[in-house]
């Protein structure tokens, strides 16, 4: 399997199914446009499937530049920060196809996304890595990697990018 930028001409978004319709629909309908408009960068994990006209997608994630209001951080995390929005990289979406869940791919892709965020951080500073979990189950998944829920919105979670760097396998 390999991780590449999503290309609607090469990758079969139609057959992708992760069990959350919103995430399937976004890949099928909006990922192409979102990339064209530089709203997100979308990466897909694909099988090497030479015979098929379009390659099957096993998992995907999408990243954007973002910022977070200091008041949406815990008291401890905002202690040393100025009162300005904090620069961040936002993991806008992460999904593994139903057939491949529970095999370590979600965690592996979270780390791949971290590496891309760290590359961006070299040129344009980002202190935090932020996710909008689609539901409670997804929030539990992120908490397992040390993410903190925002006070007031348990489905918005964040972690210092440097902390994620320290966890990279
Ligand atoms: C959530 C999701 C990305 C996890 O991917 P995955 O490949 O199934 O997860 P992994 O096999 O890499 O699991 C990594 C760890 O997270 C845990 N985990 C996975 N799903 C979890 C869940 N729903 N709740 C709590 N923990 C979870 C695993 O037990 C594992 O922990 P361990 O390393 O201690 O054993 C995947 O199940 C998915 O795409 N679900 C549907 C869409 C979704 O919810 N996306 C979340 C982004 S908003």
Number of C-beta neighbours around residue 3 at 10 A = 17
Q: Tell me the per-residue pLDDT of 2-33, one tens digit each, with 9 for 90 and over.
A: 999 999 999 999 999 999 999 999 999 999 99
User: Atom of ligand 1 at shortest distance to CA of 137?
Assistant: 23
Q: Tell me the per-residue pLDDT of 41-51, one tens digit each, with 9 for 90 and over.
A: 999 999 876 67
Domain boundaries along the sequence of the chain: 2-167
CA of 63 to the centre of ligand 1 (A): 18
Nearest to 142 by CA among 117, 100, 111, 119: 111
**Yes or no: domain 2-167 corresponds to CATH 3.30.2010.10:** no
Task: Report how far residue 43's alpha carbon sits from residue 57's, in angstroms, rounded to the nearest whole number.
Answer: 10
Residue 92 tokens, joined: 């806008």
Q: Tell me the per-residue pLDDT of 134-147, one tens digit each, with 9 for 90 and over.
A: 999 999 999 999 99
User: Atom of ligand 1 at shortest distance to CA of 131?
Assistant: 48
The backbone torsions φ and ψ at residue 92, rounded to the nearest 5 degrees and listed phi first, read -75, -30
Ligand 1 near 144 CB (within 6 A): yes
Ligand 1 near 107 CB (within 6 A): yes
CA of 27 to the centre of ligand 1 (A): 19
Q: What contacts 153, CB < 8 A, 6 or more positions away?
A: 72
User: Atom of ligand 1 at shortest distance to CA of 18?
Assistant: 41
**Which residue's CA is the closest to the ligand 1 atom numbered 5?**
106
Q: Tell me the per-residue pLDDT of 72-124, one tens digit each, with 9 for 90 and over.
A: 999 999 998 999 999 999 999 999 999 999 999 999 999 999 999 999 999 99
The backbone torsions φ and ψ at residue 102, rounded to the nearest 5 degrees and listed phi first, read 75, 15
The residues facing 168 across adjacent strands are none
Ligand 1 near 106 CB (within 6 A): yes
Entry pTM? 0.95
Per-residue model confidence (pLDDT) at position 54: 87
Ligand 1 near 104 CB (within 6 A): yes
């Amino acid at each position: 399997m390999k991780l590449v930028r999503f290309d609607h001409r090469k990758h079969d978004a139609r057959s992708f199914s992760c069990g959350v319709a919103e995430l399937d629909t976004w890949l099928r309908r909006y990922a192409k446009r979102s990339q064209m408009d530089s709203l997100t960068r979308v990466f897909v994990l694909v099988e090497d499937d030479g015979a098929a006209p379009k390659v099957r997608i096993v998992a995907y994630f999408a990243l954007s530049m973002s910022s977070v209001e200091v008041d949406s951080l815990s008291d401890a995390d905002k202690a040393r920060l100025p009162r300005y929005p904090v620069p961040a990289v936002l993991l806008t979406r992460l999904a593994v196809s139903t057939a491949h869940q529970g095999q370590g791919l979600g965690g592996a892709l979270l780390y791949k996304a971290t590496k891309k965020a760290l590359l961006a951080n070299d040129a344009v500073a980002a202190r935090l890595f932020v996710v909008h979990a689609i539901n409670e189950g997804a929030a539990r998944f992120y908490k397992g990697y040390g993410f903190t829920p925002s006070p007031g919105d348990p489905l918005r979670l964040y972690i210092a990018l440097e902390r994620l760097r320290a966890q990279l396998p």
